[in-house]
A and B are shown apart, each in its own frame.
Chain A
Amino acid sequence: MAESRTPAALPDLQRKPPLWQTPWFNTLGRFAALIAVFVLFAVLVEKGKFYSVRNLESILRQSAVYATAALGMTLVIIAAGIDLSVGSMIALAAVMAAWTLNLNFAGAEGEMVYVIDQWPVMLPILAVAAALATGTAAGALNGCTIVYLRLVPFIVTLGTMGIFRGLAKGIAEDKSISPKDGAWVEDIMEPTLSGLATELGKPAEVRGDLSPYWTLLPPGVWMLIVAAVFAALLLRYTRFGRHVFAVGSNEETARLCGVPVARTKIIVYALAGFFAGLAGLMQFSFTKVGSSTTAISYELHVIAAVVIGGGSLRGGEGSIVGSLIGALVITVLSMGGQQAGWPKWVQEVVIGVIIIAAVALDQLRHRRLA
């Protein structure tokens, strides 16, 4: 009796959603867009250069910093927050790593004694720990301020963007720190694949030692891959991950359902800080110096990467794979633009247009779904 009254418009229970509505297709679409952009530059840039092994690896290395920071930003944006301080956190972490590696004091005869000479193994590990811990602490500070002072994330991270940048400058004493010996920390972004390719291209007689290239990809890229898998599993298969989506989709509902909203938010921002610290290490390795003015305006690229990857600033939506693709799109655009000889201003205009177009397309799809 009750059934007979339900309007006929209700969809058939057994009907599968059309292919273009599945998350799979969605990711595939973003991937297709990435390929399209890549092919565009492969054609535009003089022959073969853009898809050479060296350039491909270069794209991977360049995008690794954005992508690593974008992992954290994905969590933050899914939880309906925003983190403008990510660029400053990257700089602060890079400076901390350099500062630790460069630890020194005046010896008995007034000469400079570098700690790295005495602790060649320990100190680099300490430097990595310092960068990661700094990032995590900075992120946790963001989270606690947002939760306990009940402020909007935009305002809090706008403030800490200045604070962290200022601290970085303070530690670097307004200069950049170039450690005497960067040890292996300096080498995590060194190209390996192109080195390997060069060596393999040589005849066997003159072929050099292949062992430095055993990692195949730069260690930093591997770090990104491990971190991304970790973040994706965290989001999809843990209670914490489901809580992040719930808090972002509807905080009131989450509270009603007993989700520890405050704790979830603080952990999200702390994780974002951790990933920014990792990105800071990579940035240090790239530049070999701990500069307090590095990674300026990276927050915009990172946010753009997440948004291109399907993250919604209203919360509740976003994916790690999407954000990785987004970071690659941003990198391919900027590197491709450079190599195709576009003036800087054209690059910036094009990137801006792409971001808006990506989000507009996404919204169109959403409206069709509703």
Chain B
Amino acid sequence: MSLDEFMADQIATDRADAVPRLRMQGVHKRFGATHALRGVDLTVDPGEVHALVGENGAGKSTLMKVLSGALAPNRGRMWLDGEPYLPAHPLHARRCGVAMIYQELSLAPHLSVMENVLLGVEPTRGPLIRWAEMRRRASRALKEIGLEDLRPETAVGRLSIAQQQMVEVARAVALDCRVLVLDEPTSSLAQTDTEKLFALIRRLKAKGRAIVYISHFLEEVRAISDRFTVLRDGVSVGRGVTAEAATEEIIAMMVGRKVDELYPRSSHVSGEVLLRLCNLAGAEGPLSASLQLHRGEVVGIAGLLGAGRTEMVRTVFGLDEVIDGTVTVGAYTGPASPAKRWRQSAGMVSEDRKNEGLAQGLSVADNITLPRLEGLGPWSLVVPSRQAAACLRWIERIPIRCRSALQPVRSLSGGNQQKVAIARLLHADVDLLLLDEPTRGIDVGSKVQIYRLIDELATGDPESERRPKAVLMISSYLPELLGICDRIAVMCRGRLGDARPVDQWNEHELMVAATGRD
């Protein structure tokens, strides 16, 4: 037993007289052959923020579905304030006082704030809605979370994402929840909004509500939580008091291995410049970006959400309009359409796998070959069997786990989908790879495979005469940037700073540069 576990147990013993708000013990859940949860224990006290951390695929979402009544556990027991708790369906869970806020907001954009807050539990008199009562209750909930100035009549669709999330919290509060579960609540929030959300969470905590905070951003976990539980492969593998655990320790628990094995890095030899940005400004973002990227180099772009990193890459790739400055890709200077960029030997992986990155209904082969359908048959025809054969090479090399190249991308796991998006650049054999959050939301095994692939691409292979490539990689996950990049530049409020060698950075300096504090 480590010191932290010991401490945690001590604290648990100290509180033994108080009944925990929520207790889960030995929860198992199977889906056919998949054993998604294999014994999870979780204890949350009133007035506590409890972080549930773990990589994607560790079973966090399944656990939360069990908690919210969307799934029934195969084994294990749960208690709410000492009473046995087994919700039959989500509404039942809500009535028991367990409220969930999912990553994807579940609001009706055309309805007003108050209608959304009381959706499903509208005060009625016979068939009629009691609007005055509805407004009163909604206002009370909004007031409790410090949103008095939000008019209950406003249509939710007109609010910002952050405000909409607050409305979701208000919905939970209006039902007088005992346990509030937040699933990756900051993934779509800007920094200032995150701080507001944290203030709100502290406020709810002070009123004695129990909060389960799911995240894999350890910085956040550190900032907001009192205790944490680590989930890995469906098992709760560790718990402790947040303030007393080192970040590396938590990571080690999450991934089940030492951190330095995660990031491969060979020595890269840099060649000619493949991407040159000169005071680039785009219609949607960045204000000014200057950068030189050489062959054989991996350059990382750090920064906060909304800093303009994605927009910079989109502008380079011709998806957004250039309004000032110049882009040079290889030997070509000036703006160009995505079709031209592919021909200039540049390729891009979108941050938004679902809506932009992949055609979910089409096959793996169709997705991989889409930018380069040439050479897949006689007379510039596209022969499906040749298409599939061309992809097999990448499916085996990366590797992508799929039944066949003709399987729809929709049915692959997130990690394998991402590998399909990257395989597309390999099939097109581009020299310049623009990767926007290439490892977002995928399991750690796939992450490691992608890190290795990026490293191999930048190294090249003299034996098979594969020339090194240039990789520009946006990421919000600082450890991976520090782990695999040769140089890192930070974007802050639309301006890109100098790209400095990775040994001149650390996480703290990157954060400072990203938030613009000097």
Contact = CB atoms under 8 A, between A and B. Distances in A.
Interface in B330-379: 337-343, 348, 350, 352, 355-362, 366-367, 369-371, 373-374, 377
B358 A239 contact: no
B77 interface: no
Interface stretch (B4-12, B28-36, B155-163, B501-509): B28-36
A265 to B, nearest CB: 15
B449 A2 contact: yes
A201 interface: no
Contacts of A370: 410-411
Interface string B419-447: 00000100000000000000000011110
A110 interface: no
Contacts of A258: 337-343, 371
A259 interface: yes
Given A237-B381, A252-B355, A256-B338, A8 B370 contact: no
Interface stretch (A9-17, A99-107, A288-296, A300-308): A9-17
B362 A8 contact: no
B382 interface: yes
Nearest to B411: A370
A12 B343 CA distance: 37
Contacts of B369: 242
A255 interface: yes
Nearest to A236: B384
Given A2-B445, A256-B357, A241 B382 contact: yes
A250 B355 contact: yes
Contacts of B342: 257-258
Interface string B21-44: 000000000011111000000000
A249 B366 CA distance: 11
B359 A8 contact: no
Interface in A1-33: 1-3, 5-13, 15, 17
Interface string B396-416: 000001111000101101000
A7 B34 contact: yes
A9 B350 contact: no
B448 interface: yes
B360 A250 contact: yes
Nearest to B354: A250
Interface residues of A, number: 37
Contacts of B360: 249-250
B445 A6 contact: yes
B411 A253 contact: no
A313 to B, nearest CB: 13
Contacts of B340: 258
A320 to B, nearest CB: 15
A242 B373 contact: yes
A15 B357 CA distance: 28
B269 interface: no
A249 B374 CA distance: 21
A250 B358 contact: yes
B199 interface: no
A213 B473 CA distance: 69
A9 B366 CA distance: 25
A257 B424 contact: yes
Contact of A245 (B57, B366, B445): B366
A236 B359 CA distance: 17
Contacts of B374: 239
Interface string A352-369: 000000000000000001
Interface in B449-473: 449
Contact of A260 (B233, B339, B361, B449): B339
A13 B57 contact: no
B319 interface: yes
B389 interface: no
A252 B403 CA distance: 26
B223 interface: no
Interface residues of B, number: 57
A237 B411 contact: no
Contact of A10 (B317, B319, B371, B401): B401
Contacts of B444: 5
Given A256-B348, A257-B424, A259-B370, A316 B449 contact: no
Contacts of A257: 338, 342, 370-371, 424
B401 A246 contact: no
B341 A252 contact: no
Contact of A8 (B35, B384, B449): B35
A242 B370 contact: yes
A238 B382 contact: yes
B31 A11 contact: no
Contacts of B443: 5-6
Contacts of B348: 256
B266 interface: no
A83 interface: no
A186 interface: no
B382 A237 contact: yes
Contact of B339 (A9, A238, A259): A259
A160 B153 CA distance: 40
A299 interface: no
Given A6-B401, A258-B337, A239 B359 contact: no
A3 B445 CA distance: 7
Contacts of A317: 361
Nearest to A17: B403
A237 B370 contact: no
A44 interface: no
A284 to B, nearest CB: 35
A254 interface: yes
Contact of A7 (B57, B358, B361): B57
B356 A256 contact: yes
Contact of A9 (B31, B356, B381): B31
A5 B233 contact: yes
B427 to A, nearest CB: 11
Contacts of B32: 9
A250 B371 contact: no
B96 to A, nearest CB: 30
Nearest to B377: A237
A13 B403 contact: yes
B383 interface: yes
A249 B362 CA distance: 7
A10 B403 CA distance: 9
B338 A8 contact: no
A370 B132 CA distance: 45
Task: Point out which of A9, A238, A258 has the most chain B C-beta atoms below 10 A from its C-beta.
Answer: A258
Contact of A238 (B257, B381, B449): B381
B267 interface: no
Nearest to B369: A242
14 contacts: A5-B445, A6-B445, A7-B57, A8-B33, A9-B33, A249-B359, A250-B355, A250-B360, A252-B350, A252-B352, A253-B356, A256-B357, A258-B337, A258-B340
Interface of A: 1-3, 5-13, 15, 17, 236-239, 241-242, 245-246, 249-250, 252-260, 316-317, 369-370
Q: Which 5 A-B pairs have the closest CB atoms?
A: A258-B339, A9-B34, A249-B359, A250-B359, A252-B356
Interface of B: 31-35, 57, 233, 256-257, 317, 319, 337-343, 348, 350, 352, 355-362, 366-367, 369-371, 373-374, 377, 380-384, 401-404, 408, 410-411, 413, 424, 443-446, 448-449
Given A9-B33, A257-B424, 7 more contacts: A6-B401, A9-B34, A239-B373, A239-B382, A242-B366, A256-B338, A256-B356
